[in-house]
C-alpha cells in the first residue's frame, strides 16, 4: 500500500515537473526571440570578415596566387593581366576556396579620413534621419563633423549613428553614415530624395561600410566614393575617392562608380579591409594602400 501510494503520488509530481519545464522552455524561447536574429546576423558578418581576412592575407603574402611578386609587393604587370583576362579572377576565387563570393582589390594612393569626435546636442539644430520608420534622437549620441569633410570642391556635413535607432546596449555600435548634401543640417532630406539609393519602392537610409555612391557637383563634376571604414565608437569615417584608384581587379558590379556608370552592387553582406603594400611599376617601388572588399 505504501509503495502504491508513493507511485500514485509520483505521477502528478512528474506531470507538474513536465508542465513547469514546458512553461520555462516557452518563456526562454520567447525571451530570446529578439536576440536570435541579431546574433545570427553578427555571426554571419563575422564569418564573412574572417573569410575575407584569410583570402586577403593569402593574396598579398603568397606569390603563387599571381598577384604579388614578393610578400606585400604587388606587381603592376600581374594586376594588368588580371584586368585583361577575367578568367584569372574566377580561377583565383577557386584557388582561394571562395568560388561563390565576389571581391575587388583597389590599389590607391590616398584615403579620405574624417574625424567625427563631436557628439550632437540641441545647439546644432540637426534634423536627425529616420531608419526603418524610426527617427534617431539625441539619446543615440550621434557623432558629427560640420566643417572638415572636403569632397571635390565642396565641404559637407557628416553624421555617424548606430546601425539603428535606440538599440540595445549590446548593439550600440556606430555603423551608419549620413551626408548633408544641401548644407541645411537636415539629414532626413537626402533620405527622402533617394540619395542613399532605393529598392522595392523604398528609399534606403544612410550608408554603411562597403557602400559606393556618387555626388554631383555643379555643373557636371562628379565625385564617386566608397565608405571604407566606420569606427565602431563613432570617432571617424574613411572614404575612398575613385580618383585615387590607380588600378583595380575583381568583380565589376561591386565597383559602382567605375566609368561614370551606376552599376547595381547587388545584395549580400559586405566586409572591407585596408592594408599598406608596395607596388612595383617596372622596377619603380611605391607605397600604396589596397582596399579589399568582399561580398557574400
The CA-based angle 45-49-50, given to 5 degrees, is: 120
Weakest-pLDDT range from 47-61, 75-89, 196-210, 262-276: 262-276
Among the residues of 62-101, which ranges form H helices?
76-84, 86-96
> Is residue 87's pLDDT more than 80?
yes
> Is residue 44's pLDDT more than 80?
no
> Is residue 99's pLDDT more than 90?
yes
What pLDDT score was predicted for residue 14? 59
> Is residue 31's pLDDT more than 50?
no
Residue 51 binned pLDDT confidence (cut-offs 50, 70, 90): very high
What predicted TM-score, i.e. pTM, was given to this entire model?
0.80
> Is residue 45's pLDDT more than 50?
yes
Average pLDDT, stretch 209-214? Answer: 89
DSSP one-letter code for 207: B
Residue 262 binned pLDDT confidence (cut-offs 50, 70, 90): very low
CB-CB contact of 237 with 177 (8 Å): yes
CB-CB contact of 157 with 150 (8 Å): no
> Is residue 4's pLDDT more than 60?
no
Task: Determine what percent of the chain is predicted with pLDDT higher than 90.
Answer: 62
* pLDDT tens figures, 127-175: 999 999 999 999 999 999 987 788 988 899 999 999 999 999 988 999 9
Question: How far apart, in Å, do the first and last CA atoms of the chain sit?
Answer: 68
Weakest-pLDDT range from 220-224, 235-239, 255-259: 255-259
Distance CA 24, CA 9 (A): 23
Weakest-pLDDT range from 9-23, 93-107, 173-187, 271-285: 9-23
> Is residue 268's pLDDT more than 70?
yes
DSSP per position, 227-263: EEEE-TTSSEEEEEEGGGEEEEEE-GGG-TTGGG---
Q: Is the dihedral of CA 271, 246, 196, 194 positive or negative?
A: negative
Identify the residue whose cell numbers are 520567447: 30
> Is residue 258's pLDDT more than 90?
no
Amino acid at each position: 500500500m505504501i509503495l502504491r501510494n508513493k507511485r500514485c503520488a509520483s505521477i502528478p509530481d512528474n506531470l507538474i515537473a513536465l508542465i513547469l519545464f514546458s512553461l520555462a522552455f516557452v518563456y526562454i524561447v520567447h525571451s530570446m526571440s529578439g536576440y536570435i536574429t541579431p546574433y545570427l546576423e553578427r555571426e554571419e558578418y563575422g564569418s564573412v570578415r574572417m573569410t575575407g581576412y584569410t583570402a586577403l592575407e593569402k593574396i598579398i603574402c603568397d606569390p603563387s596566387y599571381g598577384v604579388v611578386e614578393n610578400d606585400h609587393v604587388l606587381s603592376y604587370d600581374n594586376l594588368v593581366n588580371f584586368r585583361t583576362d577575367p578568367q584569372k579572377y574566377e580561377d583565383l576565387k577557386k584557388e582561394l576556396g571562395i568560388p561563390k563570393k565576389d571581391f575587388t582589390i583597389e590599389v590607391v594612393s590616398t584615403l579620405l579620413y574624417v574625424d567625427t569626435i563631436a557628439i550632437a546636442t540641441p545647439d546644432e539644430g540637426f534634423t536627425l534621419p529616420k531608419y526603418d520608420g524610426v527617427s534617431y534622437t539625441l539619446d543615440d549620441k550621434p557623432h558629427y563633423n560640420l566643417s572638415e569633410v572636403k569632397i571635390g570642391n565642396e565641404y559637407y556635413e557628416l553624421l555617424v549613428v548606430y546601425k539603428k535607432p535606440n538599440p540595445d546596449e549590446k548593439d550600440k555600435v556606430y555603423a551608419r553614415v549620413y551626408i548633408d548634401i544641401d548644407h541645411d543640417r537636415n539629414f532626413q532630406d537626402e533620405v527622402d530624395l533617394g540619395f542613399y539609393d532605393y529598392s522595392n519602392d523604398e528609399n534606403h537610409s544612410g550608408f554603411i561600410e562597403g557602400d559606393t555612391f556618387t555626388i554631383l557637383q555643379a555643373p557636371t563634376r562628379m565625385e564617386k566614393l566608397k565608405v571604407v571604414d566606420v569606427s565602431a565608437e563613432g570617432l571617424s569615417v574613411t572614404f575612398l575617392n575613385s580618383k585615387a584608384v590607380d588600378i583595380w581587379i575583381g568583380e565589376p558590379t561591386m565597383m559602382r562608380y567605375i566609368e561614370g556608370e551606376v552599376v547595381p552592387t547587388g545584395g549580400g553582406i559586405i566586409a572591407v579591409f585596408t592594408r599598406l603594400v608596395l607596388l612595383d611599376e617596372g622596377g619603380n617601388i611605391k607605397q600604396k594602400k589596397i582596399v579589399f572588399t568582399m561580398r557574400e
